[in-house]
Structure 1
Amino acid sequence: MRFSVLPAILSACLAFTGCTSGSPDRLVAGIPSAETTSSVTRSPGPVPAASIGETTPVQPDPPQEVLAWAGPVPQPEAFAPVAVTAGMPVPMERPLAELAPAEPEIMATPGPRRKIYSHKFRDAKPINFGKVSPRKYAVHGVDVSRWQGEIDWARLRTQGANFAYIKATDGGDHLDPMFKTNWRRAKEAGLKRGAYHFFYWCRTAGEQADWFIRNVPRDPDALPPVIDVEYNGESSCKRRVSRANVLEKMQVFMDKLERHYGQRPVIYTAPDFYRDNLRGEFPNHPFWLRAVAAHPSKVYPGRKWIFWQYSGSGLSHGVKGKIDLNVFHGSEQDWHAWSSPRSS
């Protein structure tokens, strides 16, 4: 009888400690996360280190395809913080049809338009996409993390990087050590920039949303935030949650970011994760799809999309090593309309 209580004690201990993406010691020491998206190759050279102690206060594809416009979401006046109960989903305020007209309108008083640079990237592992080649799209961009090291952003822009999604956070306590530098320098070079979060299934959605909000400034000129959901064999979190749990966690995280930033988050995903969890889900959210061997219409049949990540082996002046390459689904005019600063 005495030994029969041991399993219960062990279970209670495990339940109390829970599943975490990192210990407080890692956070204090400024040790970067080991997480990377499946499309990013670690640099063979040294990776710049940076303290994470400072945080920002919360303050043309074939024309017959339909563009996946997400559209703006009205922001609170003067970016006033909105109280949100962590972990509680919020209903969609308006259907996609109202948020995004079939032909997106350019703002009545748009700001100065950034020059669109033509595609000059190369690829270490080029793919023949046939008639649906990424080269046919007008607006190209990149996504980066600490693994790209020091980036010459001005030079990268002239090579065709008209926008950049920058790795900001993952889990509930990891900040990419190059985020602040990349965030500042990308803007100085004139790129449209956005931040993305690698979702960690061993942390609550509310914790992760709070961590992202704590570290990513609220900038009306920034692109919508991104939630990166995928399988990652390198993760220390080996949990495979159910489809229902995946959808619930994503909804809580995205709703909280939408309330804070006034923009509907973009969902980045890969084929296997999409097949298991996202097929037919979130019709009112814009998708960023990884498809490095075929056009998204073949890999994700029926899914509308706003960004296509077509290579994880891109080469460009301004970056040492490989970089992820992406295209925007639309013309230059569509891009200027969609990426204009959101207004209420």
Structure 2
Amino acid sequence: MRAIRAGLIGMALLALAACGGPGERARGIPDRFRDLDPYDWRGLTPARHAVHGIDVSRYQGDIDWHRVARSGVSFAFVKATEGGDHTDPSFAANWQGAARAGLPRGAYHFFYLCRPAAEQAAWFLAHVPREAGALPPVLDIEWNHASRTCRARPDPAGLRAEIATFQDIVARHYGQRPVIYTTVDFFADNDLGRLGREEFWLRSVAGHPRKTFPGQDWSFWQYTGTGVVHGVSGAVDLNAFAGSEADWARWRARRSL
């Protein structure tokens, strides 16, 4: 869920303009989407999953949520907060816009590795409404090599304890335990499989999670950061749900606020 760097966006949009169309039809992703920098998916591909969605932040600019809802997108996760003193300036517009379009949506928090988890949980609670029918909250935790203020690499046991603190506080408030979004390197470096009961959203843009996170259960898979969806200008993250449409309906019934 990391912000796409301005240079990548610029290159991607130049490529889009040059080819005269909305990205490329990428092998292995649903035909209703495109990709500005497609991976050559084979075997276990995103297209084998029935339910797909997006995650967004201020970097996507103004979004036409009604077009998004008509595009084949089934859910959206919206950035709300970061650390203990930052809110995404587009959160309110995206949160309300998705709801008006009838699109299931949830909010996510980007974890800052140099601030106590309890403070960050309190910040999230202060800015994200508890609304019936919303998807569960999400904790986005990953290495942030571009950070100008925090290059910390906490010890894995301490980090897992901080994750548990955030999860417990947020779960008590919303009645749903957050889904944890993370990357291949962060998961491995911190042995996050030891968290046990947690539910995962895994980023893997060059291989199915079955290969890149062997043996790990997951509910969501982020398979590209350069997707193209009607209603969103430029690149957007695309994600697949692990099960069928019937599984998705059951998951929402169980996990919505």
TM, length-normalised to structure 1: 0.66
What does residue 265 of structure 1 align with? Answer: 178
State percent identity of aligned pairs: 51
- Residue 125 of structure 1 corresponds to which residue in structure 2? 37
Confirm or deny that 1:303 pairs with 2:204: no
AA at the equivalent of 1:249: E
> Displacement of 1:279 after TM fit?
4.1
Higher relative contact order (CA 8 A, sep 6+): 1
Q: Which residue of 1 aligns with 2:20?
A: none
Question: What are the superposed Cα offsets for residues 279-312 of structure 1, whole Å, 9 maximum, x if unpaired?
Answer: 4222211100000000001100000000000000
* Partner residue, 1:228: 140
Measure the CA separation in 2 of the matches of 1:240 and 1:335.
Answer: 36
CA distance in 2, matches of 1:135, 1:343: 25
| Separation (CA, whole Å) in 1 of partners of 2:31 and 2:200 | 22
Higher helix proportion, which one? 2
Task: Name whichever structure is richer in strand by fraction.
Answer: 2
Could you say what the CA RMSD is over the residues aligned between the two structures, in angstroms?
1.7
Unmatched segments (≥5 aa) in structure 1: 1-36, 45-117
| Alignment size in residue pairs | 235
Query: How many angstroms apart in 1 are the aligned matches of 2:153 and 2:184?
Result: 16
Q: Is the 8 A contact 1:226 1:265 kept in 2?
A: yes
**Residue 128 (structure 1) shift:** 2.5
Q: Note the C-alpha offset of 1:124.
A: 1.1
Partner in structure 1 of residue 121 of structure 2 = 209
Secondary structure of the corresponding residue to residue 313 of structure 1: strand
Larger radius of gyration: 1
Residue 85 of structure 2 corresponds to which residue in structure 1? 173
Q: Quote the Cα distance in structure 1 between the aligned partners of 2:211 and 2:254.
A: 32
Partner residue, 1:325? 238
In the TM superposition, 1:21-100 aligns within 5 A as 37-38=1-2, 40-42=4-6
Runs of 5+ in structure 2 lacking a partner? 11-29
- Out of 121-130 and 299-308, give the one that drifted further: 121-130
CA contact (8 A) 2:135 2:255 kept: no
Alpha-carbon shift at residue 39 of structure 1 (Å): 5.7
Q: Is the 8 A contact 1:156 1:316 kept in 2?
A: yes
- SS of the equivalent of 1:195 reads strand
Aligned to 1:6: none
Contact 2:55–2:78 (8 Å) recurs in 1 = yes
Does residue 149 of structure 1 match 2:113? no
Aligned to 1:290: 203
Are the counterparts in 1 of residues 200 and 217 from structure 2 also a CA contact under 8 Å? yes
Partners of 1:40 and 1:335 in 2: CA distance: 28
Partner of 2:26: none
Q: Residue type of the partner of 2:226?
A: S
> 2:108 — aligned with what?
196
